[in-house]
Chain A
């Protein structure tokens, strides 16, 4: 049951990424190119997602527990530190170079586009590298949201 609902939720997410245009790095890069070939579509993706997620979360998180598990797994960290800010800044640099972000690339894996595999392979490389460094330096592994 858990796996079927998760599969279905994945399908809805993948459909959303494809329909919205987030799956297309050319469109994503054009959103960030206000001085050039600007395509404001992605602002509407964000708007559409938040218009559903804000009231939806409000409703759901007001309940004592999720339907299929005993508790909500929410990130407990509250601190805004250098790690959060620098990490996010570095993410933006990579996003601006390649045009893919993790949420746009994973649903694109079925399309057979070579760039998607190249990006996902290096993304996984980067994730493993960071996990390795974090283990090596002994810094607490924080579960990414």
Chain B
């Protein structure tokens, strides 16, 4: 299934993601990593810390809904793979990011932006791994 190349929307959306990361560091002194935020929500830590993470998640969910209210169009969020692949993928992602210490937002954006060598390595590894997985699935296994 093809998707349309959206250079300007992607640049603008990316800039907003970067802005959110900078604001979280400027105001709260924290890395905007969704793995870390979710992982912290699942542990019972200090309540002030927990409520901060919860507020971030509620905001994240609200953002696309505001866009929907403003434009009347909700972007597609449908994965072009069967439910079993989504379930297995979710489990594998959860384990991987726990050990890898972060995902696209934490390592890929925040980590690289502060020139963390760990994050540069992690990002290179997961990008290569994702390219290889998609190639294997789509071009050697004939899709899922």
Q: How far is the CB of A17 from chain B (nearest CB, A)?
A: 7
Partner of A145, one of B4, B81, B96, B110: B110
State A15–B112 Cα separation when bound (angstroms).
21
Which residues does chain A contribute within 8 Å of B12, judged by CB atoms? 19-20, 48
Q: Closest approach, in angstroms, between the C-beta of B129 and any C-beta of chain A?
A: 3
**What 1/0 mask marks residues of chain A from 10 to 24 whose CB sits below 8 Å from any chain B CB?**
111111111111111
B123-136 interface bits toward A, Cβ cutoff 8 Å, 1 = contact, 0 = none: 10111111111111
Chain B's nearest CB lies how many Å from the CB of A12?
A: 4
Q: Is the CB of B113 within 8 A of A116?
A: no
- B 45-85 binary contact with A (CB < 8 Å = 1; else 0): 00010011001111111111111000000111111110101
CB closest chain-B residue, reference A48: B14
A87 touches B96 (CB 8 A): yes
B13-24 interface code vs A (CB 8 A; 1 in, 0 out)? 111111111111
Taking a contact as CB atoms under 8 Å apart, the answer to whether A127 and B39 are in contact is yes
Give the size category of A's interface with B.
Answer: 35 or more
| Interface residue tally for chain B (C-beta within 8 Å) | 118
Contact across chains for B77 and A48 when beta carbons are under 8 A apart: no
Shortest distance from the beta carbon of A22 to any chain B beta carbon, whole Å? 7
Interface contact B77-A66, CB-CB below 8 Å: no
Q: Separation in Å of the A10 CB from the closest CB of chain B?
A: 2
Q: A98–B90 Cα gap in the complex (Å)?
A: 7
Closest-CB distance, A45 to chain B (whole angstroms): 4
Contact A103 B105 (CB under 8 A): yes
CB-defined contacts of A3 to chain B, threshold 8 Å:
51-52, 55
Contact flag A97-B59 (CB < 8 Å), given A85-B121, A90-B92: no
A49 to B14, CA, bound (A): 4
Chain A positions 35 through 51: 1 when the CB is less than 8 Å from some CB of chain B, otherwise 0: 11101111011111111
Q: Taking beta carbons and an 8 Å cutoff, which residues of A are in contact with B?
A: 2-27, 29-30, 32-37, 39-42, 44-54, 56-57, 59-61, 63, 65-69, 71-75, 77-80, 83-104, 106-111, 113-116, 118-131, 134, 142-145
Residues of B within 8 A of A (CB): 1-7, 9-36, 38-40, 42-43, 48, 51-52, 55-67, 74-81, 83, 85-114, 116-119, 121-123, 125-139, 144
